[in-house]
Amino acid sequence: MSDNHSQTVDQERVVRTLTRIARRLRQARVTRELFYGFTWSLILPVSVSVIYRFVAMSWMAVAVLTGLWLLGVAVYGVTTILRKGTLLGAAEAVDRQADLHDELTTAYWFHREGRSSSWINLQLHRAAVTADDLNVDQLYAWSMPRRARTTAGLLALLLVLNLLPLSWTRSWLEAGPPPVVAFTDADQMLLTEVERMLAEVAALQDAELPPEMREALAELQQGMLTREQALAELEKLETMLDMLDSTELNHLMNSMAEALTSTNAESLIDALSDRDLDRAAEALRNLSTEMSDAEREQLQAVLEQIAEQAENEFEELAEKLADAAEQLAKGDEEQARQAMERLAQELEQLAQQQQGQEIREAAAQGLEQLQQALSDDSNQLQAATDEMASGDQAAAGMPQPGTQDPDALSMQAAEAGAQSAEQGQGDLSVPGAGDEIEYGAPTTLEVELLPESMELAPQSGDEPGEQLIDQPSQAEESKLEYQPVESDVTYGEADLLKANTIPLSYRALIKRYFQAVGPRGQHDY
Amino acid sequence: MITEIDQQIARFQQNFALATDEIGKRIVGYEEIVQGLFISLLANGHVLLEGIPGLGKTKLVHTLSEVLHLKFSRVQFTPDLMPADIIGTNVMQESQQGEKFLEFQQGPLFANIVLADEINRATPKTQSALLEAMQEQSVSVGRQTYKLELPFFVLATQNPLEMEGTYPLPEAQLDRFFMKLKIVYPDTESLHEILNRTTQVDEPDVERVLTGDQLMEMRRTAREVPIARPIQEYAIRLTLATHPESPYARPIVDRYVRYGASPRGAQALVVGGKIRALLADRVHVSCDDIRAMLLPALRHRVLLNFEGEAEQIDPDTILEDVLANTPEPTE
């Protein structure tokens, strides 16, 4: 009983000491590993800061990177803090630290395994005495990890790079908004045209432009959307445009023409086949005055059939068709003529809607071109970023956009994809410069006529020959002294200039280009 | 509070010190060898002493036998030595009535301490005659098995194998030696002391300080020392690390070792560790004890392959690499 009590007390003494040691070890480990992990993690923001010094980033990219970094650090920190050591591990550590020859390891293992014998009890007792004699505070005194200096250095560098407004730093806090796209003037014009066409389509259908469509158009015109947002808006517009489709009307006209083939109304059939509803209305009026009784009966049957077909999609037309068929059936010529007149008027109304279909297709094409323009512009965003970075290198003697000669600036103003390098954004419009055309000085060519070999008039007895003479060329062949100048036109724009057909959205660009390089006063072609 | 175990430990340490001090009166500069001899003796093991001739191997063993109250015999192994010469043989005898009968005449093996001097000069057949005695502590002649008196302790000396006229010991016999101790040339100071003691008229006398019973009690005490599993795990890892293609094997082991240490090697590490722990006044074995036992306990159990033999790799080099690169088990 006494031995058991003594053994329990010894075990408790050992465990108590080991618990204290384990706590100290954990504190030391957590401190060490947090410094270690934090130091390594600092390499990411410092590297990004150095890169950011030369390559600008949007605030979104900065926010995402910072968020990911903080998240990673937090996960690492929590994992490190939550990881716990074992008492056996603590025993092993203290045995090494205090040169105890595995005394506490052995004692704790015996305790944990529940081993007992007189020898083991003696070992436990001796280990307990040793554990009591240990000065844990001295053995595991807190000290600053050696890595702390590196951590502090990196942290200071990070702060200097990002928070101190020095001439050679660029603060993350100054990061711009995400690259936005705004339509060029040409695209804006196209957008306005699309809006007009859409309004016209809606008007032809006796409707107003849906509010969602108006909203989408307004957002696009206001600009400051990301490329993805602009594309989404354009897709939304295309979807809504499909709702204004008049394909059903064409289908109905085909059905009507087919149904009428059993009658003698050839002019009406031709008009419907040609989808010319105005002509169809006129043919119907003529038919109402020239029909025989048999033809009237045939037409009545056909009109009833068509009325049934049109019932779902074209309710008013179906009513007029049914009315005409009914009047034809009654045999009252005047009433029948009036009913046919009403039907003709309805067809004329539908003809107006049909015109809207062509406008709709043009509007759809316009939207498609705007989408294409956005896709092309996305390739230029990188170039914009590079150009922006080159603006930072102005201090190193590199030419800045603002110091370019007026000719180059006028070229830039004419480019739809030109961007404001000074603003450091991917704005594809050129606020200020792009709105107003600047013309360069008229081009003059210094022409020097080439020396020319002239055939001399043969003299008597002499063979005709050539002699080099130094006089203005009679053939007007000339030599032009020139210096090679690199073009400011991008590859994409150069391709456009070479193209046989110019996409609608780039017409304004091309026009401005030729206006800019052309002689003054002659830019109105 | 002094317990019975404390007293046992104190007696163990006292007897050990008495014996080694007594040997130290005559043997100079070989304290570690003497300690190794005693550890093997207390571990119920046998010792193979290797060293060039003239370093005092035989004298050391002779002194040990003088210190102990034990029966000592010496066999000088030569190429023409036969097994019967060491085991003994049946000799025809005639009784007073004139009847003839065979009587077993015990050989020199029937002693407590047997010095097998220059064991590698005998043929393998004769060397193998020791096998049963060393492991079973008994001798079989014909159909009769004779138990040897305990403690039974074989001390074999051998010259380095590269010397002419030697036969390498069979692997099975090598494994039966608890330790292989290498006797190195003594340093200048030790040589001075040796000359001072051996070139005078009287050699220092040694007294018998330990009896067989005391030895047997010390053996029991040593075996009582507990060992925790993590420490035992370390001994096992070290043993396994000597095996090529084991998970703990080092590249040097894979390259030069044919066979690693047997489980007897691990036993030697642990039992030797226990004795060392007692000598250090501890009642538990530590990894330090296991480490200290590694070279003497395993060097003769690591068998080199052809490449190792050809490059004359010293097993100690391999074991030192194993020791340096086998971590202690941790949680």
Average pLDDT value for residue range B148-166: 80
Dump pLDDT digits (tens) for A254-299. Answer: 777 887 887 777 888 888 777 777 787 788 777 777 777 777 777 8
Question: In chain B, where does DSSP find H-type helix?
Answer: 4-24, 31-42, 57-67, 83-87, 124-128, 130-136, 171-175, 188-198, 212-224, 229-240, 251-256, 263-279, 287-298, 306-310, 315-325
Contact, B170 vs B84, CB < 8 A?
Answer: no
Best of A105, A111, A124, A125 to disrupt the B interface (most B CBs within 10 Å) is A105
Q: How confident is the model at residue A424 (pLDDT cuts 50, 70, 90)?
A: very low
Residue A126: CB atoms within 10 A of its CB come to: 19
**pLDDT, position A413:** 34
Contact residues for A365 (Cβ-Cβ < 8 A; gap 6+): A504
What mean pLDDT, rounded, does chain B reach? 87
Q: Is the dihedral of CA A402, A408, A413, A416 positive or negative?
A: negative
Dump pLDDT digits (tens) for A158-211. Answer: 888 777 766 666 666 665 555 556 566 777 777 777 777 777 777 766 667 777
Contact with chain A for residue B2, Cβ under 8 A: no
Contact, A183 vs A191, CB < 8 A?
Answer: yes
Chain A: which residues have CB within 8 Å of chain B?
A: 86, 88-89, 92, 95, 101-103, 105-107, 109-110, 113, 115, 117-120, 122-123, 126
Q: Is the pTM of this model over 0.95?
A: no
SS3 category, A243: helix
What chain A residue is nearest to B3 in terms of C-alpha separation? A122
Dump pLDDT digits (tens) for A321-379. Answer: 888 888 877 777 788 788 888 888 887 777 776 666 667 777 777 778 777 777 665 55
Q: Is the dihedral of CA A299, A300, A305, A310 positive or negative?
A: positive
Inter-chain residue contact A92 with B224, CB threshold 8 Å: no
C-beta contacts of A346-349 below 8 A and 24+ residues apart: A346/A316, A346/A317, A346/A320, A347/A277, A347/A278, A347/A280, A347/A281, A347/A284, A347/A317, A348/A277, A348/A278, A348/A281
Number of A–B residue contacts, CB under 8 Å? 66
Best of B2, B220, B223, B284 to disrupt the A interface (most A CBs within 10 Å) is B284
Name residue, tokens 């009833």. Answer: A304
The structure tokens listed for A438 are 């600047």
User: Nearest C-alpha of chain A: how many angstroms from B285?
Assistant: 8
User: Nearest C-alpha of chain B: how many angstroms from A96?
Assistant: 11
CA distances (Å), origin A44, targets A32, A39, A66, A80: 20, 10, 9, 20
Q: Minimal CA–CA distance to B323: which of B210, B198, B228, B237?
A: B237
What mean pLDDT, rounded, does chain A reach? 72
Backbone angles phi, psi at A377, to 5 degrees: -65, -30
State yes or no: pLDDT of B239 exceeds 90: yes
Q: How confident is the model at residue A427 (pLDDT cuts 50, 70, 90)?
A: very low
Average pLDDT value for residue range A124-134: 90
Contact, B258 vs B305, CB < 8 A?
Answer: yes
Does residue A45 have a cis bond before it (omega within 30 degrees)?
no
**pLDDT, position A445:** 61
Average pLDDT value for residue range A120-139: 88
DSSP-derived secondary structure for B286-307: -HHHHHHHHHHHHTTT-EE-HH
Q: Which residue has the higher pLDDT, B209 or A61?
A: B209
Asked if the interface predicted TM-score (ipTM) of this complex is over 0.95, the answer is no
Contact residues for A137 (Cβ-Cβ < 8 A; gap 6+): none
Chain B residues 168-227 with a CB less than 8 Å from chain A: 224-227
Q: Which residue has the higher pLDDT, B314 or B173?
A: B314
Cα distance between residue A43 and residue A165, in whole Å = 21
Q: With pLDDT > 70 as the criterion, what percentage of chain A qualifies?
A: 64
Q: Which residue has the higher pLDDT, B20 or A273?
A: B20
